[in-house]
Amino acid sequence: MKIIFMGSPLFALPSLKALIESNDHEIIAVYTQPPKPQKRGMIVTKTPVHELAEKYNIPVFTPKNFKSIADIETFYNLKADIAVVAAYGLILPKAILEAFKFGCINIHASLLPRWRGASPIQYSILKGDSESGITIMQMAEGLDTGDMLLKGSVQVTDTTSFETLHNELSTIAPPLLLKALSGLKDQTIVPIKQDDALTIYAPKIKPEDYILDCNQPTKLVLRQINALSYHGCLYNIGDLTIKIFAAEVSYTQTASNYNPGEVIDLNFNIACQEGFIQPQMLQLPGKNKIDIKQFLNGYQNKIKDLLQHQWE
């Protein structure tokens, strides 16, 4: 099949690479987000999908949207059989969704209809799901409402981080995608409608969602940290904001003698509503990430100052 691939981040790379290496398909074009300034140096950077496409000399298109007739005509004139979408980052209008014989299919990072929306990986962890997965689906105008073609699942545990689940899902996606494409071409796959009554949404993560909420049991605090480990949860103490990327339960006894969020000792144990956690990977403002051992060895005076500030 002649395919247009539409994706941007690392999540999409394994699927794009599988299509490139397949003898049954031809990637005739790649659509991805435009290059953007990144990090402190504000260096204009291409998306991972953009870089991989250029490595294989695949034409790349980077429209900011599909509002112009010219961009839609360019898409039509590529004369593909189907478009494959994986975390592209743009809303596709009806004209794009219906441009080709087989339309557009999407690689969605959840077991639909659970976790429709922008943040399915985060919400699978936040809400304590025991499994997550990939749904290959036909795209429709609604938010992740299209018919389902194939699913594959992976286990989620109390220690699963965003990075772990992200990588597992991006790894199981390619074989599902290839199987779905073959089924569509051979007309051997039967699309299944989603049960809208089972729909749960995973909205876009907002800035305030990254603020660590210690006013809840340790189990839920760790879920928040694990779900947002790609960014780090923001732990505010005094006038200092520390990013916490990983943590574990340190004490399970009651924390009733302490306020939620309070550092209780020089080992940087933090009180929660029930029990205590100890960060395992963290970052001070303007510094690199360090593990807890490095933090305790290098910042004892800082911890003492923080404790003193709390007690004043």
Report domain extents, the chain.
2-202, 207-310
Look at residue 311 in the predicted model and tell me its pLDDT: 59
| pLDDT of 165 | 99
Task: Answer whether 170's CB lies under 8 Å from 15's CB.
Answer: yes
Give pLDDT, residue 299. 87
Q: Looking up tokens 């399970």, which residue turns up?
A: 252
Q: How far apart are CA 148 and CA 145, in angstroms?
A: 9
Low-confidence ranges of the chain (pLDDT < 70): 40-41, 252-255, 309-312
Q: 3-state SS of the chain: helix, strand, coil percent to 5?
A: 30, 25, 40
What CATH number does domain 2-202 carry, 3.90.1170.50, 3.30.43.10, 3.20.20.70, 3.40.50.170? Answer: 3.40.50.170
pLDDT at 199: 98
Per-residue confidence (pLDDT) for residue 40, from 0 to 100 = 67
**Residue for token pair 């087989």:** 102
Q: Tell me, what's the pLDDT at 239?
A: 82
CATH 3.40.50.150 is the classification of domain 207-310 = no
Q: At what angle do helices 162-186 and 13-21 cross, to 10 degrees?
A: 40
Distance CA 271, CA 277 (A): 7
